[in-house]
Homo-oligomer: A and B are copies of this chain.
Amino acid sequence: MPIYEEMSAAQLSAAYAKEKAHYEDCKAQGLSLNMARGKPSKAQLDEVSGLLTAISSVDDCFADNTDVRNYGELAGMPSARAFWADILGCKPEQTVIGGTSSLNLAFDVISRAYTHGLLHSPKPWGKEEKVKFLCPAPGYDRHFRITEFFGAELITIPMTTTGPDMDLVELYIKDPAVKGIWCVPKYSNPDGIIYSDETVHRLASMKPAAPDFAIMWDNAYCVHEFEGDYVEFPDIIGLCQQYGNADMVYEFASTSKITFAGAGVSVLACSEANVGYFLKLFSVQMISYDKVNQLRHVRYLKDKKNTIALMKRHAAIMAPKFRVVAEYLEKQITPCGFGSWNDPKGGYFVSMNTMPGTAKRALALCKEAGVEMTPAGATYPYGIDPNDSNIRIAPSLPPVEELEKAMDIFCTCLKMAALEKLMNK
């Protein structure tokens, strides 16, 4: 069989008829499969069920001279701050422990930047004539949406294999209206790229025109290898400080994909000056975050070493799913001569570029057949992928048998959309 691009009209028609027949068979099964979001599977959640009993008596509720059940300690339990400092390589004083959602902490930082300004803001961003924000893409739709929500102009920065295109970043930051950049430095969402040392140093050493430029450093997958050993990462807080940019970076992380996705503990790490500034702001909205859950996590996860050991157990559940994705794409798509995809060693996603101009159609077909995917375009600012090509595959939630069915349908849809395009040329 020739590859699609080299097929005759008759061959294209024949290939399409074959895929279509298979598609109709699948559709008739009335399936409901989901590869849309980076949700942990039931097996992973069960793996950490010890968390449920980590605090089960009155005596368990005391630590750091504090009764975790009562109000107080807005910055978080000292032991929780020490735990996160251990994971992130920063100092405990450089952390604020939040509720279940690091996204909410990131939202609050940007929200407060708009209403009150950051530590070095000449004025609140909401009073600026224009605010622009750098969005390495493909990237995380929820990041982009936060800055879009507040009216920032989103600027697409292409991702390279070493992280965001730094030449372009260094060009854009000369504009004082450019107030920040979204980064997922380790196993980027969705590309699974680890920013190179050079990229990280170039980011940490930037001298942007905006005095209140914010690197939004979402270290969501900091210990999330599903293949191979734990990969060290630099302490971005210390690095920015070394370059004289101590207050430029806001790092986020959480246990959402370590323990329970919906009931974990999050952290904001930043300079001591920023911690002081944000505690003052946060004190208006909160008396304290959930310290029972903080202590529950510290008791259960213990420290970085133990957490990395736990991540190996998650990896044993995750790795086979990523192998299924790779196998299906290689077996079903590679011979057709279109598309490319990454081969991550951690994180929660496979990023796929299908034939340009066919991503939306392919995912519409998926939906019709009961396979839910992240909407096409979601990985780009404003939800618009100029090439209509990038698709984020999130294989973590379904069990392997379901995933195989979903990938089979997905590949069929990719092929149908590609064939339709070639037939209509």
Contact = CB atoms under 8 A, between A and B. Distances in A.
19 contacts: A37-B71, A39-B70, A45-B61, A69-B261, A69-B262, A71-B262, A107-B284, A111-B111, A111-B285, A116-B149, A142-B284, A149-B284, A260-B292, A262-B287, A262-B291, A262-B292, A263-B291, A290-B293, A293-B293
Contacts of A52: 55-58, 60-61, 292
Interface stretch (A95-103, A297-305, A369-377): A95-103
A126 interface: yes
A311 B60 CA distance: 24
Nearest to A62: B42
Interface string A88-106: 0000000000011101100
Contacts of A57: 49, 52
A68 B262 contact: yes
A103 B52 CA distance: 27
Interface residues of A, number: 53
Q: How many copies does the complex hold?
A: 2
A227 interface: no
A286 interface: yes
Nearest to A148: B284
Interface of A: 37, 39-40, 42, 45-46, 49, 52-53, 55-58, 60-61, 67-72, 99-101, 103-104, 107-108, 111, 114-116, 126, 142, 145-146, 149-150, 256, 260-263, 284-293
A168 B351 CA distance: 61
Contacts of A45: 58, 61, 67, 69-70
Contacts of A292: 52, 260, 262-263
Contacts of A71: 37, 39, 256, 261-262
A67 B262 CA distance: 9
B285 A40 contact: no
A284 B107 CA distance: 8
